[in-house]
Structure 1
Amino acid sequence: MDPPLPTAVAQGLFLSQYRVENVRILQAFGPGALTVSPRVGHLHITVDDLPWTWADASDNNTVDIGGFPPGEHKVKIDLVDANHEVLNGQSVTHTFTVPPMPAKTGMGQVHMHK
């Protein structure tokens, strides 16, 4: 997994590319999928140690998350099997800081006239 792109982080976005070997990322879940060959799995993604995680089985080789406010953040990505168990310690955590957003300019004040 690559570190997030700095230009994206500056805009409150987490964009990171990944590559897996010997595992196909598929929407195949449960004990029956554990016997599929080649092995199948998906990603579990957790943001800022929140108590919930989401699964990504899209196999587009990129994790894209938007809307991070300024400050320090953490994204944990686990490669898991069809039974949601982490494969051979395949977990990465990226910590990054979104800088303060510059004040918006160019609009000025709006005046209404009758």
Structure 2
Amino acid sequence: MRHNLKYFSAVAIAATFCISASAQTAQDAVRPPAILPLNGEPAPKLIAYPALAEPLARGVVIVQFRTENFRVMPVFGKQAVDISPRIGHLHVTTDDVRGTWAHTSEDPIIVVGLTPGPHKLRLELADPSHKILATEVVAVTVPDLRVSKPHEH
């Protein structure tokens, strides 16, 4: 009798497991996949904001930005191009001069040492293989800090 009880308990547990497994499969068939194919994702967007006024008055350019449908991180290589959601980095160029650098975090972009006057920062959203997906240009004017200010009393 005890032997039969153990047998029936094992059968009941197995049947419960099979029912649960089939229920999960049926439920998963209705849900969207956790990872979407890239061709099903909306296009990535880059939104850049004007340089912060207070640091700019001291000659420091700080540009904040955000992305949509894209995460900025230090990942490179062709194998990472098909990862979903999309990942990559920014290419940052100052004044169309040769010498672009890769910005690999969602921290603000900080540039110091620019000469007084107007400048352009070109921000390019790049996938891990450096293919450009979106571009924004931020215009800034660095003040001449050597100009003496009136002495205040």
Give the structure-1-normalised TM-score. 0.80
> Match for 2:78: what amino acid?
P
Secondary structure of 1:9's counterpart equals helix
Q: Specify which structure has the bigger relative contact order, considering alpha-carbon pairs within 8 angstroms and separated by 6 or more residues.
A: 1
| Equivalent position of 2:136 in the other structure | 92
Secondary structure of 1:77's counterpart equals strand
Q: 1:15 aligns with which of 62, 77, 95?
A: 62
Structure 2 spans left out of the alignment, 5+ residues: 1-47
1:95, distance to aligned residue in structure 2 (A):
1.7
> Match for 2:55: what amino acid?
A
| Equivalent position of 2:72 in the other structure | 25
For 1:1-114, list aligned pairs within 5 A.
Answer: 1-60=48-107, 62-87=108-133, 90-102=134-146
> Match for 2:91: what amino acid?
H
Q: How many residues align?
A: 102
Bigger share in helix: 2
How far apart are the structure 2 equivalents of 1:78 and 1:68? Answer: 20
Identity of aligned residues (%): 37
Q: 2:55 touches 2:61 (CA, 8 Å); kept in 1?
A: yes
1:104, distance to aligned residue in structure 2 (A):
6.8
Q: Give deviations 1:34-81, integer Å, cap 9, x for gaps.
A: 111111110000011111100011222x11111222112111111111
Secondary structure of 2:66's counterpart equals coil
Q: Cα RMSD between the aligned structures?
A: 1.7
